[in-house]
Amino acid sequence: MAMPPKPWPTGLVEQPEPLVRRVLAPNPSPYTYTGTQTYIVGAEHEVAVIDPGPAEDDHLDAIIAALGDAKVTAIMCTHTHRDHSPAAKPLAKRKGAPVVGCAPLVLEVDGPRSDEAFDTTYEPDRVLEDGEQMTGPGWTLTAVHTPGHTSNHLCFALEESGALFTGDHVMGWSTSVVIPPDGDMGDYMKSLDKLYTREDSVYYAAHGAPITKPRQLVRGMIGHRRQRENQILRLLGEEATNIEKLVPLMYKNLDPRLTGAAGMSVKAHLIDLERRGIVSRLEEKGHLEDIWQTA
Ligand SMILES: [Zn+2]
């Protein structure tokens, strides 16, 4: 989706509903849209901060200014991609607040896994299990486990208003990128099904505008993923081939900067289909060069 016209509200405090404020970080990119949105939950003297964002001084200062003299009960991260959690540590230090939420990942610094997208500084004081809650005056946030985009991804439900903070699991501006090995398309689909069974009134994603018809969007996303799956099966039915050749056939008018991400999403689908016994590798040449066929 094209970027919205400037000016963007970078660094400003916006209030989509009485219990929720948000501050946009200065990190726009083809992956983050206009940037990461940090949310502040609570209208009184004790609040929670969701997805503090990148550890950039301007953004930290904007969050601190928005907080005023409110006490921060919890700094909560949906997952540990670098545009979401690195500000947790410096913010915790400046506000004397605990970091609570998603689990840390066991990352490979060297070797075949590419972990550069992950925040290696993330050290939570407490990890929330599915259904566990954090509370403050007038607010209750429930952790909803939604692995897929990353294996440690959580959404947070604001019980008082019916809002759901969806991190990168579901966004209005783009489909979520699922990058193996940590990203898992099978888990991602299950996590979409999980949201479809819920009755949230609005989604606040880390990137992009609030989503006011959440179930309709989730249904569309489930359909979109099935369509991608069918597309892969149709193309492999014509000819066994590799990911590099599949991407331009599947993604028309793709922003060239997103070719790598598209390839990883196709790979995530292929791994999921392989696990289900629907496709297999005809030749293993490594990464994007493997030749895939219908089983
Ligand atoms: Zn992410």
What's the pLDDT score for residue 30? 86
CA distances for 174 relative to 54, 194, 211, 232, angstroms:
20, 19, 12, 20
What's the pLDDT score for residue 287? 76
The contacts of residue 141 (CB under 8 Å, 6+ apart) are 41, 48, 50, 74, 76, 133, 134, 135, 156, 157, 158, 159, 165
pLDDT tens digits for range 244-271: 999 999 999 888 888 988 999 999 999 9
List the chain residues with pLDDT less than 50: 112
pLDDT tens digits for range 223-235: 999 999 999 999 9
Ligand 1 centroid to residue 171 C-alpha, Å: 11
Would you mind telling me the total number of residues written for the chain in this entry?
295
* DSSP labels, 73-122: EEEEES--BTTTSTTHHHHHHHHT--EEESPPP---SSSS---TTB-TT-
What's the pLDDT score for residue 174? 85
The contacts of residue 263 (CB under 8 Å, 6+ apart) are 243, 244, 247, 288
H or E element, residue 289: none
**Residue 176 to residue 155: CA distance in whole angstroms:** 14
What's the pLDDT score for residue 110? 52
Ligand 1 centroid to residue 240 C-alpha, Å: 31
DSSP character at residue 213: S
Closest alpha carbon to 131 in 141, 120, 117: 141
Do 170 and 153 meet the contact criterion of CB atoms below 8 Å apart? no
Ligand 1 centroid to residue 81 C-alpha, Å: 5
What's the pLDDT score for residue 45? 95
**Residue 204 to residue 208: CA distance in whole angstroms:** 8
What's the pLDDT score for residue 107? 66
What's the pLDDT score for residue 175? 85
DSSP character at residue 209: S
Query: Which residues carry out catalysis?
Result: 83
The contacts of residue 45 (CB under 8 Å, 6+ apart) are 69, 70, 71, 137
Ligand 1 centroid to residue 114 C-alpha, Å: 14
**Residue 193 to residue 225: CA distance in whole angstroms:** 12
For the chain, domains (ranges, CATH) are 13-212 (3.60.15.10), 222-294 (1.10.10.10)
**Residue 262 to residue 245: CA distance in whole angstroms:** 12
Q: How much is the pTM?
A: 0.94
CA distances for 109 relative to 59, 89, 118, 150, 208, angstroms:
27, 20, 10, 17, 31
